[in-house]
Structure 1
Amino acid sequence: MDQDDRLRHSSSFGAAAAAYVQHRPDYAQAAVGWALEHAPGLRVLDLGAGTGKLTATLVALDADVVAVEPDPAMLAELRRALPAVRALPGHAEAIPLPDSSIDAVLSGNAMHWFDMAVAGPEMARVLAPGGILAGLWNVMDNRVDWVAGLARVSGSAAIGPRDVPTSWRTETANMHLPKTGGATRFGSPEQAGFPHGQRRTADSLVATLATRAGMLVMPEQVREATLGRSRAYLASRPETADGEFTLPMLTCVLRVRRL
């Protein structure tokens, strides 16, 4: 994805901020705990915080959180949901925090939108020595047969290779790590996945898919046709046709330590 496409996709969420609040999942506490495991303290930056899905999990773990989010509509939802959290407008490429002021920089389902050539040095700048940088992604477990079928029917705009565990490791192994080119160095990256789940109905799962960036930037007719195929598929499966079910997921983490 080139710079223009990345910007178009990453700036699409504001129009769906309310739906994002309602339908996007939170993050497994065990995954967030693992991301923070070796941090020198609990001053945590949630970068690209969106509506506060990851922020809320950090608050539950007693972290001292600062949230930074560029989209005004997403930031407004975060402030509404978590009024006690310090929430600032800003970008990964220009973080509004002092040098070495943060023990961990975490990013939930957002790091792939950053321009890492610029954001990498910025994240390194705000991290204290020994600090942790971690990206977290909620992925649908396509090792389960009906989830794999949904991914095939819905297409990569709704469920892409980064959104399923069978390809997540390869997709995130190196492309989202900072290459500072300066004095700051990072250790070897580590990856781990933690079981998670979300109670859904067929309609609410389709609504979740509709909040993906690839869907939001589609022409309306194409988007409705894609969501229609997903809805028909879910109606055809015994696991999802009637009432609530648990969508099997993992919260997957890529972490690296500043040396």
Structure 2
Amino acid sequence: MERDERLRHSSSFGAAAAAYAEHRPDYAHAAVRWALAAAPGRRVLDLGAGTGKLTATLVELGVEVVAVEPDPAMLAELRRALPDVRALPGSAEAIPLPAASVDAVLAGNAMHWFDMAVAGPEIARVLAPGGVLAGLWNVLDDGVGWVAGLARAGGGEAVGPRDTPAAWRAETAGMHLSRSGAPARFGTPEQELFPHGQRRTADSLTETLATRAGMLVMPEGERAARLGRIRAYLAGRPETADGEFTLPMLTAVLRVRRL
């Protein structure tokens, strides 16, 4: 994705901040624990924190967390939901924290928006020696038949370019986390997948998919047509036609240590 296009997508969420807060899933606790397992301490930065989905999980796990988010509307939702968390305006390219002040930097469904040529050195600056950078993504478990069909019915804009395990691996393989300039600041990345799920109805799952960046930047008529196809697909599947169901997901983690 070109820089201007990436900026257009990444800045689209603020207009849907309330819907994002209501409908987006949290993260599998096992995935977050694995992301933090190699960290030298419990001071954690949630970078690109959005409305606080990952922040809330970190609070539940009892770590010392500070959240940084560039979008004012998203940050306002985070502060409303988690008033006791230190939440600051800022970005991955300009982190408002001192050098070596955190033991881990985590990013939930956000690292693909970072300009790593700038953000890599900045993240390395705020990390203590031996600290951990980890990106987490909630991806659809397309090993389940109806979920694979949903991905086809919704199209790439609905489910996103990294929202299945294979697509996520391909996308993150292209993230040059180990070198953001010279010399190398990070070691060899590790990847893991953890089972996860979200209770949804056909309507609420459609609302969830409507908060994806590709859908938010789409012309209104095209967006309505795409969401209509998703609703029709869910209405025609026995797994999703009536009442609540669990959307099978995986929390995917890319973890790398600061050298």
Is the shorter-chain TM-score for this pair beyond 0.5, marking a shared fold? yes
Superposition pairs of residues 240-259 of structure 1, within 5 angstroms = 240-259=240-259
Q: Are 2:133 and 1:162 equivalent residues in the alignment?
A: no
Superposition pairs of residues 73-112 of structure 1, within 5 angstroms = 73-112=73-112
Look up the match of 2:177.
Answer: 177
Look up the match of 1:130.
Answer: 130
- Helix, strand or coil for the counterpart of 1:84? coil
CA distance 1:176–1:15, shift in 2 (3 Å): farther
Aligned-partner Cα distance in 2 for 1:197–1:181: 38
Q: How big is the shift at 1:184? A: 5.2
Asked whether the 8 Å contact 2:103–2:127 carries over to 1, the reply is yes
Look up the match of 1:40.
Answer: 40
Task: Output one character per residue of 1:2-26: Cα deviation in whole Å (capped at 9) or x when no partner.
Answer: 1110110000000000000110000
Task: Output one character per residue of 1:94-151: Cα deviation in whole Å (capped at 9) or x when no partner.
Answer: 0000111110000000000011110111001100000000000000111111001110
Asked whether the 8 Å contact 1:117–1:178 carries over to 2, the reply is no
Q: How big is the shift at 1:187? A: 1.4
Aligned-partner Cα distance in 2 for 1:89–1:7: 17
- In structure 1, stretches of 5+ residues that fail to align are none
CA distance 1:44–1:139, shift in 2 (3 Å): same
Q: Which residue identity is paired with 1:2?
A: E
Q: How big is the shift at 1:185? A: 2.5
Q: Are 2:186 and 1:186 equivalent residues in the alignment?
A: yes
Q: How big is the shift at 1:167? A: 2.3
Q: Which residue identity is paired with 1:153?
A: A
Aligned-partner Cα distance in 1 for 2:42–2:76: 25
Q: Which portions of structure 1, spanning 4 or more consecutive aligned residues, are displaced by more than 6 angstroms?
A: none
Q: Please report the TM-score for the alignment, with normalisation by the length of structure 2.
A: 0.98
Aligned-partner Cα distance in 1 for 2:174–2:230: 32
Q: Which residue identity is paired with 2:27?
A: Y
Report sequence identity in percent. 79
Task: Output one character per residue of 1:43-81: Cα deviation in whole Å (capped at 9) or x when no partner.
Answer: 000000000000000011111101000000000000001
Q: CA RMSD in A?
A: 1.0
Look up the match of 2:239.
Answer: 239
Look up the match of 2:201.
Answer: 201
Aligned-partner Cα distance in 2 for 1:24–1:134: 20
Aligned-partner Cα distance in 1 for 2:25–2:37: 22
CA distance 1:116–1:67, shift in 2 (3 Å): same
Look up the match of 2:71.
Answer: 71
Aligned-partner Cα distance in 1 for 2:166–2:203: 26
- In structure 2, stretches of 5+ residues that fail to align are none
Aligned-partner Cα distance in 1 for 2:113–2:142: 23
Aligned-partner Cα distance in 2 for 1:36–1:10: 26
Aligned-partner Cα distance in 1 for 2:10–2:239: 33
Q: Are 2:49 and 1:49 equivalent residues in the alignment?
A: yes
Q: Which residue identity is paired with 2:173?
A: A
Asked whether the 8 Å contact 2:178–2:189 carries over to 1, the reply is no
- Helix, strand or coil for the counterpart of 1:158? helix
Q: Which residue identity is paired with 1:28?
A: A
Asked whether the 8 Å contact 2:45–2:67 carries over to 1, the reply is yes
Asked whether the 8 Å contact 1:184–1:258 carries over to 2, the reply is no
Asked whether the 8 Å contact 1:121–1:178 carries over to 2, the reply is no
Asked whether the 8 Å contact 1:69–1:88 carries over to 2, the reply is yes
CA distance 1:163–1:131, shift in 2 (3 Å): same
